[in-house]
């Protein structure tokens, strides 16, 4: 899978959801927006949950997740326990710790499913490879490389350096989207991205305009399979995290509907103009 130029070597499909992160107000605010679609079991079952997917990871950082519904809880607990001494840690430090614990969690799952049932650990395997049959070594190496742990994490936060977006994806790699100013993950990512491209979006956009564009991107992402209709929004700035109330989300929906209505009227006028062309 390729995401914004990044190659995912595990070759897995995007999770059925949409999560969007936006930087605005001259890189002083971050907006996190998502549906409530979660994936359960063997990744073949997806449904809209009652609980928002926005995790208040630290007072200055929220996390959005896509993929299996459960593993991120343990991941975030481990991250919080190791950075708990800092009330407002640098977002880059949080991202590095998430990547570290992500890799540990993936390695642990590989070990449980492919090594411990054979009576040894991954460490034992690498220290004693020469003692194993070459075919066994090849199979276990493939198991390590191809193990599917389809958890995606987006971090949005603000620290003394400004607002930041980090995207951590399988098999535990990460990318910073500060320069671009937006990031989308999930099956609706392409629809979301084209919305930002159409607006020529940058991190300098004013907050309210960025908030509307982020909402429009989410609505357009609903075209994709597996994207839920519910919408949750959180704003992060130097003062902390605020969850956007339902009445504001309804106002955004009204603005979006008015824009669609006006676009429909303009398209009708354009169709009439095309039909009136004097050409053989």
Tokens 């500060």 correspond to: 178
Mean pLDDT value of segment 123-144 = 79
Instruction: Compute the average pLDDT of residues 43-53.
Output: 64
Residues 190-199, mean pLDDT to the nearest whole number? 97
182-185, strands of its sheet edge to edge: 182-185, 19-24, 29-34, 232-237, 240-243
Q: pTM of the full predicted structure?
A: 0.85
Q: Region 111-129: what's the mean pLDDT? A: 79
- Predicted pLDDT at 110: 83
Sorting pLDDT into bands at 50, 70 and 90, what band is 253? very high
Is residue 81's pLDDT more than 80? yes
């Amino acid at each position: 899978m390729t995401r914004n130029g990044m190659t995912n070597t595990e070759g897995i499909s995007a999770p059925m959801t949409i999560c969007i992160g936006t930087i605005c107000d001259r890189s002083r605010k971050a907006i996190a927006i998502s549906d409530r679609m979660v994936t359960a079991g063997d990744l073949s079952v997806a449904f809209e949950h009652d609980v928002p997917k926005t995790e208040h990871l630290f007072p200055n950082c929220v996390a959005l997740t896509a993929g299996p519904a459960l593993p991120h809880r343990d991941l975030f607990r481990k991250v919080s326990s190791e950075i708990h001494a800092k009330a407002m840690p640098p977002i880059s430090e949080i991202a590095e710790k998430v990547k570290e614990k992500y890799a540990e969690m993936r390695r642990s799952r590989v070990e449980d499913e492919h090594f411990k049932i054979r009576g040894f650990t991954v460490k034992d395997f690498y220290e004693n490879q020469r003692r194993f049959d070459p075919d066994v070594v090849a199979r276990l190496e493939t198991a390590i490389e191809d193990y599917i742990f389809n958890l995606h994490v987006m971090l949005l936060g603000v620290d003394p350096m400004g607002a930041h977006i980090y995207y951590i994806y399988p098999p535990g790699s990460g990318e910073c989207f500060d320069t671009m100013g937006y990031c989308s993950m999930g099956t609706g990512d392409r629809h979301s991205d084209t919305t930002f491209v159409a607006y020529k979006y940058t991190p300098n956009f004013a907050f309210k305009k960025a908030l509307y564009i982020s909402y429009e991107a989410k609505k357009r992402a609903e075209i994709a399979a597996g994207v839920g209709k519910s919408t949750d929004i959180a704003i992060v700035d130097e003062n902390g995290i605020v969850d956007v109330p339902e009445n504001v989300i309804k106002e955004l929906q009204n603005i979006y509907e008015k824009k669609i209505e006006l676009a429909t009227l303009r398209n009708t006028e354009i169709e009439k103009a095309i039909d009136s062309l004097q050409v053989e």
